[in-house]
Structure 1
Amino acid sequence: MDRFLSMGVFAKAVEAGSFSAAGDALRMSSQLVGKHVQTLEQHLGVRLIQRTTRRQHLTEAGTAFYERVKIILAEVEAAEGVAAISGATPRGRLRINAPVTFGIHALSQRLPDYLRRYPDVTIDMALSNRYVDLIDEGFDIVFRVGELADSGLIARALSPYRLCLTAAPAYLASRPAITHPQDLTQHECLGFSHSDLHARWTFKGPQGPITVPIAGKLRVDNGESLLMAARAGMGLLMQSWELVQADLAAGTLVPVLEAFPVPSRAFHVLYAPDRRLTPKLRSFLDFVLEHFGAA
């Protein structure tokens, strides 16, 4: 039997809950469904589904196999979809979620170019620093900073998220000199609530990473609010390059500890493995990788 076909039949049997229901969905007999599953079990040398007269359930091996099969089937469908619709015009609504600072200072500046290129697409973008569930909240695409959990989503790497440490000249003039990351324990550090940046900051040192605990009177879940506080001389700010570059150019903020750079963070764009790569989704992914993709 065709092993790939058998994998599809197996997945349908799991999702439908029985061989007969899977047979109805696939327009084949329950006996043939069982034969496909049996063929896979013989090939793998393990039992995938335990069946009784009343119910069926996945074995431990069956559960692990099903999770991988879902991804394989989705990837094949996506590849076929790309070939079938490569000449189609992107159209429809695209729901996007992105971190606030990246969304305002980087992505939003590029979106007019995308919409001019694809006038039949409309974008519904939600900016939030919280973790969103792409599937449950109905997004087509999400952007995420930091190391990824094993979510089952398909991730495309973007250029690392660059962070830097800055402060207002007036703040630095009124406080002890900062020549080493450990000096930060004696300073007001503006905490960012939606990551570990509220409790500790890490730098690249000559002998390796240097992590120091930080403290301050202000902690906010929004980088733009922290930027206002830094401009007012309330403390040191560790945020993205996009957020502070205009202030650095104007001199309202200056870099701190340039000899100890802040490690960049992983940055990805993600979408669901079972989400067909429609022209709108494919076009937007290509656009994002064109402008923000890893070098």
Structure 2
Amino acid sequence: MEDNYISPDELAGMALFAAVVEAGSLTAAAERLALSKSAVSKALVAQEARLAAKLLQRTTRRQSLTEVGMAYYEHCRRVLLEAGEARRAVDRLHAQPVGVLRITAPISFGSEHLSRHMPELLKRHPGMQVDLQLSDRLVDLAEEGYDLAIRVTDKPDPLLVARALAPIRWVVCASPAYLAQHGTPMQPSGLAGHACLTYPALTPGGAWPFLLQGQPWQQPVSGPLRMNNSLALLLAALGGLGIVRLPSFAASGQLADGSLRPLLQDYAVPPQTALAVYLPNRYLSPKVRACVDFLRERLGNGGRPYWDHWLDGAGK
């Protein structure tokens, strides 16, 4: 053990010694600390034994500090002042949203939607700072030190706390130019004759999911382009390269203005959910709570989000 190690007992002895000095007597200190006079006396003797030094001269009428005790008390007082500051720092952090909030989110969702709302969040809570890292990989919150993750899934991690932000619809779509040249598939099997633009990690087994007569159906798809970013696939589809399956949050503007047309809506699978997930914590940080509540408010409180306004025009 290092020579400068301070044990919990010694720290407690420092606090007790300071209380005796400031109270002016063992009796007064005992009353202040809600201890017996004998308990205070024994603790003081134990502290002097640890230090191998006499701290107080005590008689039946008065007590006075020794030279060593006077120097030691000054250091004890500074330690206790710092301890008080530590407690106040914790109180401040748990009283209001302050400090750095580390968030991880998928690239497309974070770029399109989280980033646009960060100014308002920080305006509401000026004591906060946000470190938003965009990545499509599954981040380990504990291992990598993140406070919060945004995930799009229908199978949340049971070891994490999850709060729903908004439903995420997946839409098969293509540009009018592509459909005019190659025709419009009327059922999932019709995709077999089309150029399909795919996101490999979201196309397990090289197939897109559908509901056919209420039952899950995996339709094999293939095409000239594979990319690992929804926004990049969006641009390729707008260029008329083929049919794409995108989350509606990435293509809502294009679906609304007609530059992309939704396909096979009668066969669409149920929406997934955008979730805010964080590690279980009995004392949830105010900055995490503030961010989650804010995002729920802005994204629809688990109901229909603003980016699905295109559905009104689609008759859904």
What is the letter of the counterpart of residue 195 of structure 1? L
Distance 1:185 1:96, change over 3 A: same
Query: For 2:184, which of 173, 177, 182 is the aligned residue?
Result: 177
Give the structure with the higher percent helix.
2
- Cα pair 1:164 1:262 within 8 Å, conserved: no
Displacement of 1:195 in angstroms is: 2.1
Displacement of 1:86 in angstroms is: 9.8
- Measure, in 2, the Cα distance between the counterparts of 1:150 and 1:283: 22
Bigger Cα Rg:
2
- Cα pair 2:106 2:134 within 8 Å, conserved: yes
- Measure, in 2, the Cα distance between the counterparts of 1:123 and 1:189: 37
Percent identity at matched positions? 37
- Cα pair 1:165 1:262 within 8 Å, conserved: no
Q: How does 1:222-261 map to 2 (within 5 A)?
A: 222-261=229-268
Q: How does 1:206-285 map to 2 (within 5 A)?
A: 206-274=213-281, 276-285=283-292
Q: Does 1:95 align with 2:102?
A: yes
- Measure, in 1, the Cα distance between the counterparts of 2:177 and 2:286: 51
Displacement of 1:197 in angstroms is: 5.9
- Cα pair 2:93 2:99 within 8 Å, conserved: no
Q: How does 1:76-225 map to 2 (within 5 A)?
A: 88-148=95-155, 150=157, 152-196=159-203, 199-225=206-232
Q: Deviations over 1:122-170 (max 9, x none)?
A: 1110111111111111110001112336451211223221111110111
- Measure, in 1, the Cα distance between the counterparts of 2:184 and 2:260: 16
Displacement of 1:259 in angstroms is: 2.7
- Cα pair 1:141 1:269 within 8 Å, conserved: yes
Of structures 1 and 2, the one scoring higher in RCO (CA 8 A, sep 6+) is 1
Gaps of 5+ in 2: 1-8, 13-90, 304-316
Displacement of 1:240 in angstroms is: 1.2
Distance 1:251 1:177, change over 3 A: closer
Distance 1:248 1:166, change over 3 A: same
TM-score, normalising length from structure 1? 0.66
- Cα pair 1:198 1:214 within 8 Å, conserved: no
What secondary structure sits across from 1:158 in the alignment?
A: strand
Gaps of 5+ in 1: 1-23, 28-83
What is the letter of the counterpart of residue 118 of structure 1? H
- Measure, in 2, the Cα distance between the counterparts of 1:266 and 1:110: 19
What secondary structure sits across from 1:215 in the alignment?
A: coil
Distance 1:116 1:214, change over 3 A: same
- Measure, in 2, the Cα distance between the counterparts of 1:197 and 1:236: 17
- Measure, in 2, the Cα distance between the counterparts of 1:245 and 1:117: 28
Distance 1:277 1:240, change over 3 A: same
Query: For 1:294, which of 295, 298, 302 is the aligned residue?
Result: 302
Give the root-mean-square deviation of aligned CA atoms. 2.5
